[in-house]
Amino acid sequence: MKKEIPTPQLSGTAFRVLLILSISHCLNDLLQSVISATYPLFKDDLVLSFAQIGLITLVYQMSASVFQPIMGLYFDRRPSPWSLPIGMSSTLLGMLSLAFSHTLPWVLISVSLIGFGSSILHPEASRLTSLASGGRRGLAQSLFQVGGNLGGSLGPLIVALLVAPYGRQNIAFFSIIAFIAIIIMIPACLWYKRRLQFIRLEEKAAPKHVKMPLSKKTTVFAIAILLILIFSKYVYMASLTSYYTFYLIHKFGVSVQDSQFYLFIFLFATAAGTLMGGPLGDRIGRRYVIWISILGAAPFSMLMPHVGLLWTIVLSFCVGLVLSSAFPAILLYAQELLPYKLGLISGLFFGLAFGIAGIASAVLGDLADTYGIEAIYNVCAYMPLLGLITFFLPDLKKIQAKP
């Protein structure tokens, strides 16, 4: 008699788990955004140049990016239900260390710990998001991503209210948020543990052979295009997340606190755009969402360096809203190309996004020191035009619909 595989509450879309993952992503990216939001404070306190600010971003982003595909590949082979709290514990230690960093090397070590925590959370939480989606992967990924974008937008706002007026030592209070995130993750970890047990029983009963939708050559070509699109998106995003506050202070004479509020407006727009990208990709196809989001940001980005403060804020909101819808579509497109390597693909694309942002921040910081802060916005404004190469991506929605 064939042994029946138990499937208690493991089928369908697990919205409770998705909500936990979205909140965890929100708190994680809130903590990550504290780094860039406190740049003006570190620049003044430690007398740093723009190149040194870029170095901080580079070290942070490299620690968050280089380890992501490694962590993704490792947990593809050895999945662990407790990986998320382990990563958040590293972030907690990094926040405490950053609060009391008084030298540049100390700051670099602190942001490395924070970046390492992120390198575990993103590929692992993305894997759980796919498992909990119940087939509605675009919706699930957007819910997960919007949590991160919302957290990233709240970080500068909280820094403006609680840290900027009172001193860098108040960064230590963010470690409480990291501890809360660890507690919130526990129910999702327990769900993942049960899910892993079910998957192992299922594989023993009937091993699955997952087929790639495209040939290897076409898959490599498609991934190369996606990587170029990630490059165009995150070079421009790096110019905003790392130097937007300095740009507003320099060009329009706004205060540090006001610049944080304007950064919040941009980051909030990225959260709203992310929420739209996944479900829209489920409906019309991810290729079309990628096309619209990256190329569609070009008119706003090219106009922004040539307008006043009010229109700069409006255009930055438009850029954030349109451009941010691309990442869920890009990530899911890549996961569909290699459906048996979810952790590796998630780690690769999250890691590449962070790595490109880090390298771009370092290069842009050096350019800002040499040519001025406004020069980097005139140069980066044309990056979204690379969205034109989306034309060469195969339409997976049509290919998968064929019998």
CATH number at residue 339: 1.20.1250.20
Q: C-alpha angle 282/283/285, rounded to 5°? A: 70
Structure tokens belonging to residue 182: 């660890």
User: Which pLDDT score, from 0 to 100, does residue 315 have?
Assistant: 93
User: Which pLDDT score, from 0 to 100, does residue 401 have?
Assistant: 55
The answer to whether residue 3 is domain-embedded is: no
List of E strands, 240-357: none
Please tell me the total count of domains within the chain: 1
Q: How many Å apart are CA 6 and CA 83, to the nearest integer?
A: 25
Does residue 9 register a pLDDT over 60? Answer: no
Q: How many Å apart are CA 392 and CA 383, to the nearest integer?
A: 18
Does residue 6 register a pLDDT over 50? Answer: no
Q: C-alpha angle 389/127/360, rounded to 5°? A: 45
CB 81 within 8 A of CB 192: yes
User: Which pLDDT score, from 0 to 100, does residue 231 have?
Assistant: 84
Q: Which of 1-5, 13-17, 289-293 is least confident?
A: 1-5
pLDDT digits (tens, 9 = 90+) for 35-72: 877 787 777 778 777 778 878 878 887 787 777 788 87
> Does an H or E element contain 7, and which?
none
The answer to whether residue 67 is domain-embedded is: yes
The answer to whether residue 9 is domain-embedded is: no
Burial of 80 (0-12, 13-18, 19+ CB in 10 A): middle
What residue type is 392 in one-letter code? Answer: F
User: Which pLDDT score, from 0 to 100, does residue 313 have?
Assistant: 93
Q: Give, as one character, the DSSP assignment of residue 255.
A: -
Total Cβ atoms within 10 A of residue 6: 10
Q: Which of 9-18, 202-211, 394-403 is least confident?
A: 202-211
User: Which pLDDT score, from 0 to 100, does residue 179 have?
Assistant: 93
C-alpha R_g of the chain: 21
Q: How many Å apart are CA 161 and CA 79, to the nearest integer?
A: 40
Q: How many Å apart are CA 94 and CA 96, to the nearest integer?
A: 6
The answer to whether residue 49 is domain-embedded is: yes
Instruction: Report the pLDDT averaged over residues 185-200.
Output: 84
Q: How many Å apart are CA 82 and CA 282, to the nearest integer?
A: 30
Q: How many Å apart are CA 230 and CA 51, to the nearest integer?
A: 23
The answer to whether residue 384 is domain-embedded is: yes
- pLDDT band (50, 70, 90) for residue 397: low
The answer to whether residue 83 is domain-embedded is: yes
Cβ-Cβ contacts under 8 Å for 183 (sequence gap 6 or more): none
CB 99 within 8 A of CB 171: yes
Average pLDDT, the chain: 80
The answer to whether residue 2 is domain-embedded is: no
User: Which pLDDT score, from 0 to 100, does residue 311 have?
Assistant: 94
pLDDT digits (tens, 9 = 90+) for 252-305: 988 877 887 888 888 778 777 877 777 777 777 778 888 888 888 889 999 998
The answer to whether residue 27 is domain-embedded is: yes
Q: Which of 3-17, 98-112, 311-325 is least confident?
A: 3-17
Q: How many Å apart are CA 42 and CA 217, to the nearest integer?
A: 47
What residue type is 24 in one-letter code? Answer: S
pLDDT digits (tens, 9 = 90+) for 331-348: 888 878 877 777 777 777
CB 159 within 8 A of CB 35: no
Q: How many Å apart are CA 259 and CA 256, to the nearest integer?
A: 5
Per the structure, the complete domain to which residue 254 belongs is given by 15-401
pTM (predicted TM-score)? 0.67
Provide, rounded to the nearest whole percent, the portion of the chain with pLDDT above 90.
9
Looking at per-residue pLDDT, the higher value among 176 and 348 belongs to 176
Angle formed by the axes of helices 326-337 and 286-296, nearest 10°: 140
Q: How many Å apart are CA 220 and CA 192, to the nearest integer?
A: 31
